[in-house]
Structure 1
Amino acid sequence: MNKQHCIVVRKSGPLEGRVRIDGAKNSVLPIMAATLLCEQECIIEDVPKLRDVYVMIDLLKTLGAGVEFSEDGVLRVDGSKVDKWSAPYELVRKMRASFLVLGPLLARFKRTMVSMPGGCAIGTRPIDLHLKGFEALGAKINVEHGSVEAVANELVGERIYLDFPSVGATENIIMAASLAKGTTVLENAAEEPEIVDLANFLNSMGADIKGAGTNTITIKGVERLGATTHRVIPDRIEAGTFMVAAAITGGDIMVDNIMLEHVKPVAAKLREIGCTITEFENGIRVQGPDSISNTTIKTLPHPGFPTDMQAQFMALMSVANGTSVITETVFENRFMHATELARMGAEIKIEGRTAVVRGTPKLAGAKVDATDLRAGAALILAGLVSEGETVIGQIHHIERGYVHIENKLSQLGADIRRIQQI
């Protein structure tokens, strides 16, 4: 995972074959954080070998946990020897999701200190909703010198309303409330499938959580949580990315190991632009159209169209017939990939939170940079249909969310490889 590598993509024909989707990055990270609530061993299955996962493993080890990660994606976390409640800056700055240890550490030790988080530069993503939730549960919060300190004599259940259905805040508050005294009712909670997966994991440890997947979640605090084994849900964003790969190349891809309910918004839009979609019990077949129709997209919290698929669809709309409009309502700085796509000949005009994409018959390969995780995926997709060669730098962003995406695409017929930059 060397930052000096880049991905080279050449124009490829229609991609065809089968691809298996890995466990969800946005599910496994909060679940790994939740193991800190337990003083026994937790086993997590189908864990993807991602850069962010290894950062979280390092963080858990720093806090005192015993961690084993096998070749077949089984992660064992023994929380019995966790004895530290402070998360160091050098790890937290690498990944925003590391802030999710705040809730579990607060619940277990009644105090914690965590540096302000890092991660992709796609917007402000404030942590005030996390802190508001902890304060409601009885914690005193002190923010200074780039760190957040939270201290509580005890955590007590409370009714909490989130001003915005933040996924991270919902997860952090659920974890903290799991060991609180009494009942917590979390209103305007995020409804993402990854929230449901976290709640299922916590319940299998002995937590009492109801309503996950709806906007009101009820958490009855319990005295302790115990050992469990849990399989992570498939990654709906990785699945969506390969679905778009079929669409943009006019290919025929069977995407295995998915939950159909989780990819509904993406499948609906792909049907709209001309794809043939066939659903199976654990997979979905996407056949790309001869001609891609334009469309209108508005990102929304789940169950709306996912913001994490916006960049990939912008690449797709760059080669569609007619003009498409994409409105980003979740993150205010998530059009950085538009500049990179423009280097390849895409015609994109940004007006505030709206992108107007005028489809063009062909794109041209260029040297571009992955400005964030999903932007990197969009550039790969554009490269598959661009004349000549596309060289993508800053691929450490891509490695945060896709396990060897170049290998998976290559097996489907893509002309793509990773090389050492000179």
Structure 2
Amino acid sequence: LLTRHGHFAVPATAGGDDIGRRRIDTHLHIFNSLGVEMVHNGRFEMKTNGRLRGKDILLDEASVTATENGVMAASLAEGKTILRNAASEPHIQDLCHLLVRMGCPIDGIGSNTLTIHGQERLKGAEYTVGPDYMEIGSYIGLGAITAGELRISGIIPEHLRMLEMVFADRLGVRMEMEADAASATGWSLILADEQELRVRTDFGGAIPRIDDQPWPAFPPDLMSIALVVATQAKGTVLIHEKMYDGRLYFVDKLVAMGAQVILCDPHRAVVVGPSQLTGQQITSPDIRAGMALVLAALAAKGKTTIGNSQQIDRGYQRIDEKLRALGAKIERVD
């Protein structure tokens, strides 16, 4: 909007998932550094005096969306922009590769330092977006706790290294990747139809920890999925959600279903498994917790009703249709 129109205003209220405070200061720092004038008077008003001007910018956190905003703004800025401590997740790499095809050279794609050579104009381009490793990770959890054979086609193996380390090495999920010429990427992931989920302890038998960090570490958006898988694994594990102070508040719904989970504080929960889950009437608080509750419902005895399902739809397209195709008994109700 800034590069096209030079001025815009948006409400100052936050939206999206209710998973705790998510600051926008990194976004504002980038825009201010590029020459954007900002006024906050109940809403954000931003304007530019001509083209944005490239600058060497150090981000105070490796924010995914701030990096994306910075890259897009810098692509039409005058001169060179360097983003240091930038996020480098696969979807950011996709955005950068698209902008390169549109005529904006970008150095350092996939690293934490991006150099964007701004252009006066961009051209149209065709680009195929890569697979969503968050959705893949969610289906890994699905196959793990339902012990049903599952093939996920079109994966990119290097995107799943930390997922494999947590789900397979830490929680005992039986999964393997294999070459698949029929898939879009040439690779598929297969989950075995027999699972013996077991928590692997740390050296000396210490209780292990699963935590989240920026890419390439385990992503925060899959912590809810890992927690539900842990309820079905034999052993004890500490789930440490470092990034969001409201992510773990959905565990009371799992406890109501029969899970043995102790919420130590807003960032840590101890899970003891396996637990027999039973169906309940619950509500989805956010996208990932909602999907985690769907997994729990599929592993539970009896009927589960999940309210606020539109939250799940925001992150998982036609989830009920896909699950029915896999044999799940699931339907939408008014």
Query: Normalising by structure 2, what TM-score?
Result: 0.91
| Paired position in structure 2 for 1:392 | 306
By how many angstroms is 1:419 displaced? Answer: 2.0
Matched residue type, 2:328: A
| Paired position in structure 1 for 2:183 | none
CA distance 1:152–1:354, shift in 2 (3 Å): farther
Matches within 5 A, 1:213-292: 213-272=110-169, 273-280=171-178, 281-287=186-192, 289-292=194-197
The C-alpha deviation readout for 1:163-206, integer Å capped at 9, x for no partner, is 11000100001111111111111000001001000011111111
Matches within 5 A, 1:157-168: 157-168=54-65
The answer as to whether partners of 1:193 and 1:262 remain within 8 angstroms in 2 is: yes
Matched residue type, 1:151: T
Q: Distance in 2 between matches of 1:268 and 1:300?
A: 14
Matches within 5 A, 1:140-155: 140-155=37-52
Match of residue 237, structure 2, among 303, 324, 327? 324
Matched residue type, 1:275: V
Q: Distance in 2 between matches of 1:308 and 1:288?
A: 26
| Paired position in structure 2 for 1:111 | 7
| Paired position in structure 2 for 1:376 | 290
The answer as to whether partners of 1:113 and 1:148 remain within 8 angstroms in 2 is: yes
By how many angstroms is 1:289 displaced? Answer: 4.9
By how many angstroms is 1:299 displaced? Answer: 0.6
Match of residue 336, structure 1, among 249, 262, 271? 249
The answer as to whether partners of 1:328 and 1:334 remain within 8 angstroms in 2 is: yes
Matches within 5 A, 1:41-190: 105-116=1-12, 117-190=14-87
By how many angstroms is 1:328 displaced? Answer: 0.8
Matched residue type, 1:279: M
1:383 is paired with a residue whose SS is: helix
| Paired position in structure 1 for 2:204 | none
| Paired position in structure 2 for 1:37 | none
- The runs of 5 or more residues in structure 2 that have no matched partner are 179-185, 201-208
By how many angstroms is 1:115 displaced? Answer: 2.2
By how many angstroms is 1:336 displaced? Answer: 2.2
Q: Distance in 1 between matches of 2:40 and 2:296?
A: 42
CA distance 1:249–1:182, shift in 2 (3 Å): same
| Paired position in structure 1 for 2:94 | 197
How much is the aligned-residue C-alpha RMSD, in angstroms?
1.5
Structure showing greater relative contact order (alpha-carbon pairs closer than 8 Å, 6 or more residues apart): 1
The C-alpha deviation readout for 1:42-95, integer Å capped at 9, x for no partner, is xxxxxxxxxxxxxxxxxxxxxxxxxxxxxxxxxxxxxxxxxxxxxxxxxxxxxx
Q: Distance in 2 between matches of 1:374 and 1:131?
A: 27
The answer as to whether partners of 2:87 and 2:215 remain within 8 angstroms in 1 is: yes
Moved over 4 A (4+): none
Match of residue 409, structure 1, among 323, 331, 334? 323
Q: Distance in 2 between matches of 1:207 and 1:254?
A: 37
By how many angstroms is 1:365 displaced? Answer: 0.6
Number of aligned residue pairs: give it: 316
By how many angstroms is 1:234 displaced? Answer: 1.1
Query: Normalising by structure 1, what TM-score?
Result: 0.72
